Structure 1
């Protein structure tokens, strides 16, 4: 069976078997049948250049009727092909270009999109582009350098004092969220100083995380402060979820272990604590990877919605880049049915987290013993 045929202008023995010999004649240059420019191949049944191919497709798809201002016999050459669209289109038809071979614009766009996806899939393992992989690597490195998952560096704190006695009248349901009996909450919030120090420790880690991101460092200092004040408490909750144990409903922070009851001892009310626990249970059940946790943190940090932001467009563009990277990562690293609606579920949880932040701030500001607050915590919630 012959590999090529004399009628196939795209193939030759030289191109199939290897480089041509020194004595072989150079291949004849292909000429556009419409304007005489260098042709790139057969388009709509005729050997043409890219310019005439695009012109023919656009003219037919748009259904434009051109009129020649002269005698309808204008010369169509590489230099003069733009001077008369009517004669150029007629020349396309005269040399045999076929209208029926033109695909609708929507089909062309879909094919181009598929080609881009294939190129990305070939260029980057797992369907992630090189830029997206670089972003994930940067954020993971920033997280690992600044987040102390063992809480070994959490040493300068006021001790945890638990004076709360659980009510025997309303034991929690097995497997369900713990309920708090507000009738037995203490008058003295014994865990408040300790939680203030823990929150300050977490806030410092979030600030250090942000400073490791070049896009954040490049912003004006006022924008940096606005972003941190707007997102730090939410990012702390995302980081706390990495140490949350869904079986015991406890946050295991190295040698420290906290439950929702400890939040009551810090002065927080049931209207905040029960949704908070539900949020952590729901987020943990999604089984997120480290990459997804850090991308969520970056999405929260780069929020362009604050009124005092000056670099709105650049912040918005970076957040969009992070969101698209998160979506691509989920699509390629969570096979069905695990990954079904995972991105949508995360967006819903981020909306819940925003509501929790508002209630958290409200309750902190209403806790009477504000002397327990640290300057950094007071600055973040102000």
Structure 2
């Protein structure tokens, strides 16, 4: 019998509460095996033995073989000759009190080993792999290159007009959804192709069903005073999101059609995540360098409560998580690599990329966070990602409605347009 089998792992049966006890005496004197005199590793099956005799007893009790002593059944078992007479060795095991009923089943041993392995993994510090570190550094570099956290360029947009009268007229309409049937906007993908190629965006055509004359007059009387500024702001941010994606090696490896589909699906969500970095949860204000925004500004741009109310709740919820910059950029990337976006063809590749990002985020939280409830952070982030998907659909509907009242940019229309 090989030494490897003889010296089986002590994970099998040397377990408190399962028939074995660890040596707890405080003296430092070496303990010897009561069977063969070898160095003992503790109590196994109710007797102090070495690992070899522990393994021998377990195997002997599980086998139906009847051992026979070639001598007179009076062999003296020692460390050197313990393998020569299995019969006398087994009798010695029984004579010192080793009990068969304390042997664990193979299934119980396997289960216990898994538990011990998991416990050791929990005790060992979690660390990011070199590959995960590289992913995070690439995302951080892309974010810092494409998103200006000082918001210095916000001063280049058309002024933010906070005309209260105009917004009150818009909100007086009790059923603003009556106009939604009037909008059937189609925009070619030429604009998106050009944007991804970092060229200027050309004008796109829009085919909208014209409302009746009296309804058109009602729409023309509505002035969305903040819309010009928000149109400039959104166009600027869309270009930043495109540049962010194009900076990532994972994204560049996809075919151009999938790049377009992912950008169209995730742009609104990535902008939401980005803007959350500026949100002050104490005041409810987005503090963007030289400018500050509130929900009323979005209403003056034409957006309505059934989008803005859940959006504000989302910003409070996400901001209160106090995410690190690394967690923010990983969240943006997870949103970007969503294989279930309309128009995506290579689902498996995108799914694998998202899985890498999700595992990296979870590992980062485990490795870098010290809070006792840190295990709750990852599912909370996933819940926020899910919430953004529902807001994304409503955002698309409202942008198309606003376009029928007051024009927005061709690039924004291309982002929210559905593939024909």
TM (norm. structure 1) is 0.66
2:383 counterpart SS class: helix
Q: CA deviation at 1:181?
A: 9.6
Out of 226, 232, 242, the position equivalent to 1:191 is: 226
Give CA-to-partner distance per residue, 1:241-288, whole Å, 9 cap, x none: 001111221111111211100011100111111111111111111111
* Counterpart position of 1:130: 130
| 1:152 lines up with 2:117 in the alignment | no
Q: 1:372 to 1:151 in 2, by over 3 A?
A: farther
Q: Matched residues in 1 for 2:5 and 2:123: separation?
A: 23
* Counterpart position of 2:412: 377
Q: CA deviation at 1:158?
A: 2.2
Whether contact under 8 Å (1:231, 1:301) holds in the other structure is yes
- Tell me: higher relative CO, structure 1 or 2? Use CA pairs within 8 A at least 6 residues apart: 2
Which blocks of at least 5 consecutive residues in structure 1 are unaligned?
A: 1-32, 46-55, 66-92, 169-179
Q: Matched residues in 2 for 1:356 and 1:251: separation?
A: 18
Give CA-to-partner distance per residue, 1:32-70, whole Å, 9 cap, x none: x45xxx96993369xxxxxxxxxx9xxx9xx9x9xxxxx
The structure with the largest alpha-carbon Rg is: 2
1:127 counterpart SS class: coil
* Counterpart position of 1:268: 303
1:341 counterpart SS class: helix
TM (norm. structure 2) is 0.61
| 1:43 lines up with 2:78 in the alignment | no
Moved more, 147-156 or 203-212: 147-156
RMSD of aligned residue pairs (Cα, Å): 3.9
Whether contact under 8 Å (1:167, 1:184) holds in the other structure is no
Which blocks of at least 5 consecutive residues in structure 2 are unaligned?
A: 11-54, 65-85, 90-99, 175-220
* Counterpart position of 2:83: none
Q: How many residues align?
A: 296
Q: CA deviation at 1:156?
A: 4.0
Moved more, 304-313 or 200-209: 304-313
* Counterpart position of 1:50: none
Q: CA deviation at 1:233?
A: 0.5
Q: Matched residues in 2 for 1:270 and 1:336: separation?
A: 36
Q: Matched residues in 2 for 1:219 and 1:233: separation?
A: 20
Q: Matched residues in 2 for 1:300 and 1:325: separation?
A: 14
Q: Matched residues in 2 for 1:221 and 1:368: separation?
A: 27
* Counterpart position of 1:356: 391
Q: Matched residues in 2 for 1:203 and 1:295: separation?
A: 18
Q: Matched residues in 2 for 1:140 and 1:261: separation?
A: 32
| 1:227 lines up with 2:192 in the alignment | no
2:232 counterpart SS class: helix
